[in-house]
A and B are shown apart, each in its own frame.
Chain A
Amino acid sequence: MERATNLVSLRILANIVPVALGILGVLVANFPVSFLGGHVAPPLLGFMPLYFWGMVRPDLMSPFWAFVLGFLEDVLSGGPPGVWAASYLAAYYMIDSQRDMLASLSGVGALTGFAVAALIACFSAYVIVCLLSATVLPLAPMLGELAITVIVYVFAVFVFGAIHRRLVGPLRSDF
């Protein structure tokens, strides 16, 4: 009985961890303190858990959570509402349709897969903002944000991998 209660608690924790990391990532990325002197756009920290668990555990990172993370990014970044929500969903569509291929990648290939997904998200946001403002905006800020996001993901993926193996992933076999 006690074991069953513990398993339920662990299952709830495992369900919460990916989304909680996504929310934490959005909060940290939009925190009004810049460690890079404001010269580089903050990385899309909320997108990283979305990609990682959207690929390996889509039951824990559903399209609904992609929408929620994107909307939170919209609210906290001060941009027009719906832009990042739509962009994250566009990237999620790519992850969902190419999941087998993305999950089989390793090393530089895995990083490239993330870079392509992040490019889809950033470029979607860029296009939507251009359409909303009826002007062609410079690409440099978008590319800078993409670059710093990919660089940070190199380190973040090891953290996500460890969390997945020790906390999220192993629990799946119990159910």
Chain B
Amino acid sequence: MANSSWRIGRPRGGAQLPLALLAALAIALILIGKAQSNLFDRARANLTDWAAPALEVVRAPLAGINRFLGSIGDIFHVYEENLKLKEENARLRQWHNQAVVLDDRVKRYQLLLHAVPDPALTTVMAQVKPGQAVIDARGMIGRIFLAGDHTSWVILLTDLNSRVPVTVVPGNVQAIMAGDNSGAPTLDLLSQNVTLKPGMQVVTSGDGGLLPPGLAVGIVVANPGGGFRVALLADPASSETVNVVDFKNKTELPPAVSPKDLPAAAAGLPPAAPPVETPPAGTAPAGTPPAAVTTTPKPAKPSTTPPAQDGSDPGDE
């Protein structure tokens, strides 16, 4: 580690001018990157696409070594791990039974209310697009912010630029989960008059129409500095396989109104006769029917809410 034997190959201070020029260039890059991030994002996507075959070749043995190193510590805890998993399995079976009962109840309620069920989530097999959610078996990891031909970049939930609308349950508390480069994102509540407790569940709210509602995200934990953070369920570092969720927010149409749904019909009364109006003389010929009242419901307009959670295109991040 001794440096005393090194001879310096250039007089001190000889790099001042190039340093100043390059520093100016770096600052210009920062400003350009802030204004036109798409340029650099496209370059990144092209670079990773170009390097994808090499990355794939190198990744396989490295991932094997990583798994081996990670499993060394587990060998010494196999017995305890087994007991813990058995206990967890028994608990999960109880939850499973409860979920089946509740699912059946929800279906009956939906039938009674003519509710439109949530759109089914499909996993993308062909085309990955910016904004799509990335999940593993435990929960949400992040979302696609840059999609190339063969590779994609994922903005993690912990990233500084990540903003995701979430719901804290129970209580249906709306909040924005914001990453700050730490392991647990912060929770910015949209309402001041709510109280959170550690241990509450955090799921995506689906606001904005880009992410599906109800994706598991994490658990509320108290922040030592005040406020609350989210302990994420998913661990991007240990996830080798992820799913990209293709979510299309379908327009929710109210059920068509039939005559029996009218209050009078529902009460068992005969339908009221249509009002007969006498048209003013000279405005319509004899025998012209009265103006019809349109009762057909208009389809709801598609949501015009901006797609990104933070109001910006994900690709701009």
B22 CB contact (under 8 Å) in A35, A63, A154: A63
- B32 neighbours in A (Cβ, 8 Å): 81-82
| B30 x A86 contact (CB < 8 A) | yes
- B34 neighbours in A (Cβ, 8 Å): 80, 132
| A80 x B37 contact (CB < 8 A) | yes
* A33-B26 Cα distance, complex, nearest whole Å: 29
- B106 neighbours in A (Cβ, 8 Å): none
A60 at the interface (CB under 8 A from B): yes
* A13-B135 Cα distance, complex, nearest whole Å: 46
B101 at the interface (CB under 8 A from A): no
- A140 neighbours in B (Cβ, 8 Å): 182
* A58-B3 Cα distance, complex, nearest whole Å: 14
Query: A70-B26, A89-B23, A138-B180 are known contacts. Are A57 and B1 too (CB-CB below 8 A)?
Result: no
* CB closest chain-B residue, reference A129: B160
* CB closest chain-B residue, reference A72: B47
B4 at the interface (CB under 8 A from A): yes
Q: Mark A61-86, 1 if CB is under 8 A from B, else 0.
A: 01110110011001110101111011
Which of A3-11, A99-107, A115-123 is the interface stretch? A99-107
* Total residues of chain B contacting the partner, CB 8 A: 52
Q: Mark B1-38, 1 if CB is under 8 A from A, else 0.
A: 11110111110111110110011011111111110010
B102 at the interface (CB under 8 A from A): no
| B18 x A138 contact (CB < 8 A) | no
Taking CB atoms and an 8 Å cut-off, the chain A residues in 140-164 that contact chain B are 140-141, 154, 157-158, 161, 164
| A106 x B2 contact (CB < 8 A) | yes
| B1 x A89 contact (CB < 8 A) | no
- A110 neighbours in B (Cβ, 8 Å): 1-3
CB distance from A175 to the nearest CB of B (A): 10
Taking CB atoms and an 8 Å cut-off, the chain B residues in 44-71 that contact chain A are 44, 47, 55, 58-59, 62-63, 65-66, 69-70
B111 at the interface (CB under 8 A from A): no
B8 CB contact (under 8 Å) in A35, A82, A103: A103
CB distance from B148 to the nearest CB of A (A): 13
B295 at the interface (CB under 8 A from A): no
* A129-B40 Cα distance, complex, nearest whole Å: 17
Q: Which of A's residues lie within 8 Å of B, judged by CB?
A: 31-35, 37-39, 55-60, 62-64, 66-67, 70-71, 74-76, 78, 80-83, 85-86, 89-90, 92-93, 96-97, 99-100, 102-107, 110-111, 113, 128-129, 132-133, 135, 137-138, 140-141, 154, 157-158, 161, 164, 169, 172
Q: Which 9 A-B pairs have the closest CB atoms?
A: A38-B237, A82-B29, A82-B30, A106-B2, A81-B33, A86-B26, A56-B6, A85-B26, A59-B9
